[in-house]
Amino acid sequence: MREAASETAYRLIRDAIADGRYEEGSRLREEELASTLAISRTPIREAIRRLAADGFVVLEPRIGAVVRTWDPEAIRDLFNLRAVLEGFAARLTAEVAQMHAIDELEGQQRRMDELVVSDEPEFLKQFSEENTAFHRQIIFLSGNRQLVAIAPPLVDLALITRTYRKFSDERIRKSSSDHADLVQAFRRRDGMWAEAIMRSHILSSVELASKD
């Protein structure tokens, strides 16, 4: 029961942050959240810890949970770094990944395609989570241990959710199409094509992601 309450609290607070109802830099007080959401403080506390782990909030000493603030220059730096590292990961994955692993990536890509044409009420949440898992799996499949150690945390769920909230329907369809092209590049063992797709895919979102 408590796990269900914690999941509900996580979802409600996360969606409110993604929608801008809790502004960047604002403090999240457990007692106020408990009253507003009609959920006891223990599940609220657990939800806040999870939100911190996923990058939506920052836990500050003597203050508590604060909605994460995004600096435009830091976002651009992060996306530029992701383009380099994930482009390299995509090239390696095309060269070394086994076919059953590529089949699994294609399954993830098809689930995202299905979400794009669905009327799923939690589309943004589900698409963001699927996208994050897809990108992190490509890094893992690269087989490069140093890359696997440093790159996955850069694929930030909170930032991805924030970015997709700004996408038009057409832009989201283009993102999903890029994923399909990546899978085809992997199947053809075309590392250079895979790298080019991934770099373009990430860099095309830089300006939109860094806007307030």
* Residue 207 scores a pLDDT above 90: no
CATH of 72-210, one of 1.20.1250.20, 1.20.120.530, 3.40.50.300, 3.90.660.10: 1.20.120.530
Query: In the beta sheet, which residues pair with residue 28?
Result: 65
4-60: pLDDT as tens digits: 888 899 988 988 887 778 888 999 999 999 999 999 999 999 999 999 988 889 999
CATH level 2 (architecture), domain 2-67: Orthogonal Bundle (1.10)
Give the span between the Cα atoms of 140 and 18, in whole angstroms.
Answer: 27
pTM: 0.82
> What are the residue boundaries of the structural domains of the chain, listed by start?
2-67, 72-210
Q: What is the mean pLDDT of residues 71-77?
A: 88
Which secondary-structure segment (H or E) carries 64? strand 64-67
